[in-house]
Amino acid sequence: MPVSRILSVFALAAGALSTGALGLAALPAHAQPAPALQTIYSSNRIMNAVTASKDGRIFMSFPYWGGGGQGPTVGERLADDSLRPFPDQAWNDWAHSHDALRSFVRVNAIRMGPDGLLWVVDSGEANVGGKPNPPDGAPPKLIAFDLATGKAVHLIVLRQGITPYSYVDDLRFHGDTLILTDAGDPALIVVDMKTGQQRRVLSHKPCTTDERPMRAEGQIMMTGGKEVRIHADQLEISPDGKTLYFQPSSGPMFKVATADLENTSLNDAQLNARVHPFYDTPTTGGTAMDGDGNLYVSDVDHLRIVKITPEGKGSTFIADPRLVWADAMWITDTGALWIPAIQLNRTATFQRDGVSRVKLPVSIYAVNAHLKTPPRN
């Protein structure tokens, strides 16, 4: 489906939407003064995710493309602001061990699960939008760690649900079902924890495919002389577990019932017919969802966070020039929204001359907005 058709679908669904792609700058302002944006952690290495346990332990991930010196791929922040490799140095030593099943290769996401385990999405030796992934390279995998022991409780190698162009991106939970996005070859990947079955769904459908330019800080994102395409990327599950919201990084956002997603009797065409447009989101780096079902979506073009109600009404939650490519956000048990601002669009990969324009340090910010804490879906 071409972009014009996607946008016309959203126009027809205007009763459920508050704005269109061309009207984002005119979003209604937040009714109250913007909450203060506080810096909670800064680093000369680029971080792309933060998550926390119920007892206050804080974990961060550092992507392989981030640069900024040596350090762990997954680290636990200690009281003195230092980072301890988690779960240990061996898991963070792929460069020397090349043990694809016992070390982190290219971590793209981390998330504290509803089971209290720290889940890590490792994309393996994968590319985004380039050459096919090496057939004998490290495969993508999911690892879930027990925080008390540091032991891997689950190790799920993702072979069934991928293609040679896959880049496994992010993860959410629904009971015994794991739902992942494929940002390299557009699709969702559904893993049944009970049976071990891995299914690839909505492959190359408009709801998973980036079909329009991505914009950040007023510029169309380019790499290698071509427009950037990051396919199925962000996803969230409603607090009642009934609805999955998802989108390519360029937007727009769609929704589907989790019951339909998990119904193995539906073929891809039948499942796609049950997908509905939800909101015409801007180019997005990361999302979060609170316990009231409100979505928080980063608008990387206008350096702000957009709040979208369950009814599809949007408003500016906070805008700040420091929010350069706000990525995987996290809502704490005290109701604060944590926002890693990772400056992805300023990295060398997305510069026409190949020179990084990242302004170090990069930081994780917090908005103490007293949000309702969500279930850890």
The answer on pLDDT for 334 being more than 80 is: yes
CA distance 279 to 328: 19
Distance CA 243, CA 123 (A): 25
pLDDT for the residue numbered 239: 97
Which burial class, exposed, middle or buried, applies to 247 when counting CB atoms under 10 A from its CB (0-12, 13-18, 19+)? buried
Q: Residue 358's closest CA among 38, 37, 43?
A: 43
Sign of the Cα pseudo-torsion (323, 173, 54, 56, in order): negative
Bridge partners, residue 326, by sequence: 341
Q: pLDDT band for position 69 (50/70/90)? A: confident
Lowest-confidence pick of 40-49, 65-74, 84-93, 239-248: 65-74
Return the bridge partners of 206, or none: none
User: If we measure between CA atoms, which residue out of 199, 130, 193 comes closest to residue 166?
Assistant: 130
Q: Give the separation between CA 169 and CA 71, rounded to whole angstroms.
A: 22
What b/e string do you get for 318-351 counting C-beta neighbours within 10 Å, with b at 16 or more?
A: bbbeebbbbbbbbbbeeebbbbbbbbbbbbebbe
DSSP state of 328: B
pLDDT band at 12 (very low <50, low <70, confident <90, very high): very low
**pLDDT tens digits for 283-312?**
999 999 999 999 999 999 999 999 999 999
At residue 128 the predicted structure's pLDDT band, cuts being 50, 70 and 90, is confident
**pLDDT at 362 > cutoff 80:** yes
In the chain, where the domains are located: 3-34+55-318
Give 266's strand partners: none
In percent, the amount of the chain with pLDDT more than 70 equals 90
Domain 3-34+55-318: assigned CATH number: 2.120.10.30
Q: Whole-number mean pLDDT of the chain?
A: 91
Distances from the Cα of 44 to the Cαs of 16, 346, 361, 363, in angstroms?
Answer: 42, 14, 5, 9
Q: Model confidence over 218-263: pLDDT tens digits?
A: 999 999 899 999 999 999 999 999 999 999 999 999 999 999 999 9
Coil, helix or strand for 95?
Answer: helix
- 34: confidence class by pLDDT, cuts 50, 70, 90: low
Joined tokens for residue 163: 């293609």
Q: What share of the chain is helix, strand, coil (3-state, %, to 5)?
A: 10, 35, 55
Residue 115 CB neighbour total at 10 angstroms: 14
Kindly tell me if the per-residue pLDDT of 277 is higher than 50.
yes
Say what the pLDDT of residue 58 is. Answer: 97
Cα–Cα distance measured from residue 314 to residue 24, given in angstroms and rounded to the nearest whole number: 9
Which tokens sit at 247? 């989108």
Percent of the chain with pLDDT over 90: 83
Please report where in the chains the tokens 């800064």 appear, as a residue: 42
Count of C-beta atoms within a 10 Å radius of residue 203: 18
pLDDT band at 66 (very low <50, low <70, confident <90, very high): confident
* Under 8 Å between Cβ of 326 and 300: yes
CB 62 within 8 A of CB 71: yes
pTM of the model: 0.92
d(CA 295, CA 291): 10
Surface-to-core class of residue 2, CB atoms within 10 Å of its CB (0-12 exposed, 13-18 middle, 19+ buried): exposed
